[in-house]
Amino acid sequence: MGGVSRIALVEDNDDNRALIAALLEDAVPPFVLEEYVDGAAALAGMSAPHRPDLILLDISLPGMDGTEVLQALRQREHLRDVPIVALTAHAMRGDRERFLALGFDDYVTKPIVDEEILIGVIRRRLGEPVESE
């Protein structure tokens, strides 16, 4: 993949946005981050032809929840094949399978205790080499 990857982060929690922004800024090479505080803002910001390379989407959002936002994003032709990673504090047995069945490409749980997991998922989904591999 050439150039700097653009990642859209849809997350209502300020602290989590700041943490993920810092992680992505410090990554080598760095990512360009677009931040959205809810689904409505994300849908407005990702109108055609704007297409990030990857979307990190919180499940528990005010207004539309993450699964509704996912469905709305997938209905857009230009976003249909963009990898979308669920971010969720719902760590119940079977959640991973449920989110993948809904159409998410991957799943990362919060709190983000092991930052390498998040970065690893992002790099894998972008087709970039993962440091530990």
Partner 1 sequence: MSLSEEARARLRARFVEGLAGRLERLQSVRAELDAASPDAMAKARTLGHQLSGTGGSFGFPELSEHGRALELAPEVELVPALEALLHAVRLVVDQAELEAKEADR
Radius of gyration of the CA atoms of the chain, in A = 14
According to CB under 8 A, which one of 115, 124, 126, 128 is a site residue for partner 1? 115
HSE-CB for 47 with a 13 A CA cutoff = 4
Interface segment toward partner 1; rule CB under 8 A; list 37-45, 69-77, 94-102, 105-113: 105-113
What residues form DSSP beta bridges with 7? Answer: 33, 54
Is 14 a residue that touches partner 1 (CB under 8 A)?
A: yes
SS3 label, residue 125: helix
Is 15 a residue that touches partner 1 (CB under 8 A)?
A: yes
What residues form DSSP beta bridges with 86? Answer: 57, 107
According to CB under 8 A, which one of 6, 19, 64, 124 is a site residue for partner 1? 19
CB of 83 to partner 1, least distance (A): 19
As a whole number of angstroms, the distance between CA 117 and CA 128 comes to 14
Interface segment toward partner 1; rule CB under 8 A; list 45-53, 68-76, 94-102, 104-112: 104-112
Only one residue has tokens 């992505």, namely 24
Angle (nearest 5°) at CA 70 between 69 and 75: 100
Name the residue nearer to partner 1 (CB basis): 79 or 121.
Answer: 121
- Residue ranges that bind partner 1, judged by CB under 8 A: 13-16, 18-19, 22-23, 26-28, 60, 88-89, 110-113, 115-116, 119, 131
